[in-house]
Each structure stands twice: as structure tokens, then as C-alpha cells.
Amino acid sequence: MAQCVENKTPNGQKNGGNRWLAVRAEVMRLWKRLRHSRAAAVLGQFLYDMGFWGEYTARRLVREIWNGGCFLARHIVWIWARAAGLTKNILKSGVQDLTAPFTRMANGAKNIRARVQEEKQAGTAHAAREGLRYFASGVHKYFPLLGRAVAYVLPLAALAVFGYTVHTVLEYNYVLAVEVNGSVVGYVQTEQVFDSAKDEVAQRINYAGATGEGWTVEPSYQIAVGENVMDENQMAAAILESSSDEIQNATGLYVNDELVAVTADGDRLREELDSMTAPYKEPDNPNLTVEFNKDVRCEDSIYFTSTIVPVDKVIEKLHGEEQGAVYYTIQSGDTPWTVAGSFGISVDELQAQNPERDFSSSSGFPVGAQLTISQAMPYLQVKRTLASTYQETIPYSTEEQQDPTLPMGTVQVVQEGAEGLAEVTQQQVFYGDSDTPSETSVIDRVVVQEPVNRIVAMGQYVPAENIAYLPDGSTLIWPVPGYRGISRWMIGSSGQIHGGVDIRAAAGTDILAAAGGLVKIAGYHPSYGNYVVISHGNGYETLYAHATRLAVRAGQTVTQGQVIAYVGNTGNSFGYHCHFEIKRNGARQQPRDYFPNK
């Protein structure tokens, strides 16, 4: 009986080995031919020459670089040594030149003393004459040494004098000397003060009216050294005083930096201003500030005599009105916007002046009716600014954490939230006798206690039987994880009497989005009751009906597993359940085909 022996080497492997041996043999044959060919010899000689030349050139290059570096280093050392030696010699020579006169002087003094001692034997007078003669000969002989020392000392002395001069000049207080008609009337610190003083002079001249018309003064300045400087008001008075004899001391009333009145009784004017604010002040209330609604100040200075008015007239101005009421009669074609724009106010401001009219309707803006554009305003009002502090709660935020161990749709509180606390300082502004604030603003806010976020765990776990895989790789999940059972499935594939699956559950049970998408419909239908339709963007749509209430709105984007509604019994329904439909490209699908294990 013949035996069949299995060939353990596949034919494909055997044929592959034969081809490799053939290729190897061909390569060896070509190699032998190349070794004995003249072209191979020439190529080998060329490669050898190239290698030899390259190595020789590289060695020479390295040697030249090394020799150049050594040469450069030697010359640098030589130059450094020469420079150090030259510097040393210069310093040594300079020290010798500076000390030589004093050394010679010391030696000369010793020699003179010794010479005088020797000559005392011939008499004291003779010794003195010999000492003087010796001193004179020494001065004559060594005088050039003194000149060389002076050549070093003089530049140092000049440098010291220069430094002292610069220091002294910088210590001077340079100011601007203001001149009128060639005479200095005072000093100011900066050009800005000078310009402010000129503006003040011009304002007083203009306020003088007809009397001051054509009267001009052109002060100038130049840099000078001085100590006593003036401010802009003092300088303006000095300029006027030196320019005209039609001036006198008085008090100017400035409102918002504009000169509005001049009176000789400044004390009475100040008393009146204080009496206007006194009734509103509360000395024991540090949070209350009382002032005028405008910047008001009194300046005692030099003013034109012709501009001075009685103080009663100035007080009357303070208690008067800034402007009268302005009215407008509505014309054909007018609108609230055109009328407001023509007077440079907003429609809201126009409405506030006419609260009895409704600008939103045509009947509230009839032709011929009179509109109030602005009310008469007091020239000066008392402004009270009250700062107060109160506490307000800071709401906490909810932080969601994904938990893969909790069932999809389950929400579990991990940490309860706690409100924070802030201390708020607000500022309220009142005008006149009104107890209603015209302005309220927050000027400071300090967090006393930070809020604690509420943390909730969002379930992400979905059992395998609750997941349906779509052709594009996305998924659908069972919309009511907490269901009790199925009432009925979709019947038939055409002419069906039921379009989806009815999922029984307790009232209020969460209904989840089967997949993420856009809410197309969220509303009420006679048959569906409260229902939601979601488009998932891949040709699929899902419908959820009979909800007791909805948790989303049309146009909203939702994520898979998000709560969109709650199980109910609305519409054409006979028990609590969720009617669930799946559509693909507009055609209803059998839900059981997607969730066969239900």
C-alpha cells in the first residue's frame, strides 16, 4: 500500500530559494569580470589619487592653521609685554617727575643745614650768606624739575575746577523770569505755569467786556536764577498790576474754571456758598460728601474795577436758573428719533421728559402735540454723595464630572454647593432735597467667602443591550434606561398602524437623547402630546412622544444621553409611556432591529 509523504517545504518557498541562488551566481560572475577589466583598474587608481590628495590637503590645512595661531599668539604676548612695559615706564617717569622737586628740596634742606654748620666757624653772618647762596644755586639748578611736575598737576587741577563748576551750576534753581514792558514782575517754575497765568489774564480781560476791549498785554519770559516763585493766579495778578491802573483787589467766582462774577465782598460770597451746603452736611457721617454739582471756587486777586458787581447780584445768580424750559410742537413727518436728534439728546431722554406719552405707538406722538425737551435747571445744585456697604451672596456653579460606572442618564451629587459672600461698597448721588438717588454705582467689591461649586457625577455607563451600532460607526442608545417594559413594537413594514415602540415607565422618568444632534421640534401635537424630534446629522432622526414635560427647546444642540423630556401621558395616550421612533432618510425603522435584546 503506497504511503503519501507530506512535503513540508511549500513549492512557493522552494522556487524562491532557487531564484535567490541564481541571482547570487550572476552577481559573482559580474564581480569577477569587473576585477579583471581595465576600467576597474582606472577607477581604482582615480579613487586612490582622490583619497591621497584629500588627506594631504587636510593635513596641510590643519598645519597652516596651527602655525598661524601660534604666530598670532606670540605677537599678542609681545604686544602685551611692550604695552605693559611702556605703561610701567610712563607711570614710573610720571611719579619721578612729580616727586623729584620735593626729593631735591628735602636733600637741599639737609645740605644747606650741613653747609651752615660748617661755615659757622667763620661767623654766623658768613654761614647765613653761604646758606642763602647755596639755596639760590639749588633753585636755579633744579627749577626745570618744578616745571615738569607742574605739567602733571595743572591738568588735574583744571579737571577739579571743572567738576566744581558743573556741580555748582547744577545746584542753581533755574526759573522763568516773567517780564511785562521790559520789567520783571515775578518768577514762575515752569512754562506750564506761565501759560496758565497768560490764560487767566486773557480770561479776566475778556470778562471785562467793552472796557477791556482793545486792551492787551503780552508778557514774556527768560531763564533766570531765583528762589521765590509764584503760582498762576499770583502771576496773573502781578501781570495785570504792572499793566493797568484800572484794577483793584477783589474776589472772583469761578465755576468749572470759568470766571463768572467778580465782587469786592468775598467774605459774604463765601458765607453764602457755605450756607447752601450746610443743611445737608452730617459731621458725624464720614461716608457722606456734600459739594456742588459744579466745581466752584473763590479766588482773591487783581481784577478790573469795571467788572466788580455787588455781592447780592452774585448771590442772586447762584440761586437762579441756568436755562428755561424748552418745548417743541410735533410737525408732520416727525418721529421721536428725528426730534431727539435735532436737539442732540437720546430718545430715552426725550421719553423721560415726557412720561405721559407712549412713543411706541403713533397715537402717543400726534402732530400738533407739545413735547418738553428740557426742564428749567438750577444754576447751582447741592450734590450729596453717600457711600454705603452691604453684603450680597455669590451663586455657586455646578461642575459636571463624567462617571463611567454610573448608568447613562443618572445624576449623582458628589459635593453640595454653597453660596459665597461679598461685601459691596456702593456710591449713591443725590441732588438738592431729593431722597431718590440719581446715580448708583459700585465702587468696590471684596469677596469675603468664596462659593463652593456643586459637583455632580453624570452617568456614562450603557449596557450592551442598550446600544445600537449604526453603519457610519456612530451609536444609538435606549432612550428610557429606567423603563418597566415594552407595550408594543412597530407592526409591519408598510401600512403600519404603529410607527415605533412604546416604552412603559413611571411618570416623570428621564427620557434621554438616543444620540447627539439638533432639536428640530420641541412642542405639542394632538396625537404625540409633548414631543421632541432630534436630527442627528447622519440621515437619522429620532422622536420621543407623550412626555409630561420637555427639558429642551427647538434649535438647541444636545449630547447623547442628555435628559430631553420626562415620561408622561399626554396626547393620544392611555398610560404612562414614551413613544420612540427611529427614521433613516425619512423612512421609519423597526426599533426592534436596532435593539433586538429588548
Residue range 369-405, pLDDT digits in tens: 999 888 777 889 899 999 999 999 999 999 989 888 8
Name, in order, each residue with C-beta under 8 angstroms of 487's C-beta and a sequence gap of 6 or more.
502, 503, 504, 575, 577
| Of the candidates 535, 539, 518, 525, the residue with the CA atom closest to the CA atom of residue 579 | 525
3-state secondary structure 240-269: HHCCCCCEEEEEEEEECCEEEEEECCHHHH
Residue range 16-28, pLDDT digits in tens: 566 777 777 777 7
User: Which range is least confidently modeled, 139-153, 192-206, 394-408?
Assistant: 139-153
Residue range 314-346, pLDDT digits in tens: 999 999 887 667 889 999 888 888 888 887 788
Please count the helices (runs of H) and the strands (runs of E) in the chain.
10, 29
Write the CA distances from 332 to 329, 336, 339, integer angstroms: 10, 12, 11
Residue 327: HSE in the Cβ half-sphere, 13 Å Cα cutoff: 5
Write down the pTM of the prediction.
Answer: 0.47
Query: What CATH fold (topology level) applies to the domain 468-594?
Result: Glucose Permease (Domain IIA) (2.70.70)
Question: Torsion over CA of 241, 243, 248 and 249, rounded to 10 degrees?
Answer: -30
Query: How does the average pLDDT of the chain come out, rounded?
Result: 83
pLDDT band at residue 185, thresholds of 50, 70 and 90?
confident
- What CATH class is the domain 383-457? mainly beta
Residue range 484-532, pLDDT digits in tens: 999 888 864 455 567 899 999 999 999 999 999 999 999 999 999 999 9
Query: What CATH fold (topology level) applies to the domain 325-375?
Result: Membrane-bound Lytic Murein Transglycosylase D; Chain A (3.10.350)
Write the CA distances from 243 to 177, 263, 354, integer angstroms: 16, 21, 54
Contact 88, 111 (CB under 8 A): no
* Distance in angstroms (rounded) separating the CA atoms of residues 542 and 500: 10
* Distance in angstroms (rounded) separating the CA atoms of residues 582 and 500: 7
Neighbours of 422 (CB within 10 A): 16
pLDDT value at residue 496: 59
User: Which range is least confidently modeled, 31-40, 215-224, 452-461, 552-561?
Assistant: 31-40
pLDDT value at residue 550: 96
Q: Which residue has the higher pLDDT, 165 or 504?
A: 504
pLDDT band at residue 248, thresholds of 50, 70 and 90?
confident
Average pLDDT over residues 277-281: 94
